[in-house]
Amino acid sequence: MLAAIFHSASSRSNSKTEIDKTRRVLSPLKDLLFPIHCFGCKAFGIEICSKCRKYWNPHFYLQSIEDLTVYSAIRYSPVARSILLGAKENSLHIADELIVDALLNCLHRLPTQVLRNAVLMPVPGSKRAIRKRGRDFIFELTKELSIRSGVPVIPGIKINRRLLDQSGLNAADRKRNINGAFEIDGVSPESIKGEILLVDDLVTTGATLLEAKRALNSGGIPVNRAITACVAQTSNI
């Protein structure tokens, strides 16, 4: 949809500067095509009404998936799904801001000594998804999170083969689909000056985060923590 418009216009630009200018010019078009309304009940004039706000009210959810500690802010719900899709599929700036706010909440809950030495590393998007959406969704949000938090971001993982859409798979199939699909990209233990925090929008089974951890570990890069905006299964502390 609108992401395709952005991608089509951006593909005719020859530099990142021109692409950024194109996005700024087209931003008012997004507001026209997608007027502000509640992501939950669709009431006009506000992105989340007071009734639906309880479903997107950052808390602190902590879980251990094997030996990876995952910090999340929002319990997954129909409202959360609408916000994630608004950002992923339609590049809605309001949805982006809500997701970054949730990720920022996770960062603020980390131990001070961890946050001081943290390096953000986004989970990679597939080439097919990037073409469809006109952007690398998680990478862009992680860059904005870096700007707002002061925590540096380093992309260091890439996908090495075609994947099925994880959202339509059960836990066993998710693991099989993602197993061995990531590899390190342009980073080494010497180039990482701090503790890596993996970044993703949603954790369900944890298969994607564990695959990212495996890929980095295979290159001698330790990973112990991840942050996500949303979590499907929660343990609130």
Q: What domains can you pick out in the chain, each with its CATH number?
A: 54-164+171-231 (3.40.50)
d(C-alpha 149, C-alpha 151), whole Å: 5
The answer, as to whether pTM is greater than 0.75, is yes
d(C-alpha 237, C-alpha 235), whole Å: 7
Contact 102, 74 (CB under 8 A): yes
> When comparing pLDDT for 177 and 228, which is higher?
228
Concatenate the DSSP letters of all residues of 150-193 into one string: ---B---EEE-S----GGGS-HHHHHHHHTT-EEE-S--TTT--
150-197: pLDDT as tens digits: 999 999 999 888 776 666 666 777 777 777 888 999 899 899 989 999
d(C-alpha 130, C-alpha 140), whole Å: 11
Contact 118, 151 (CB under 8 A): yes
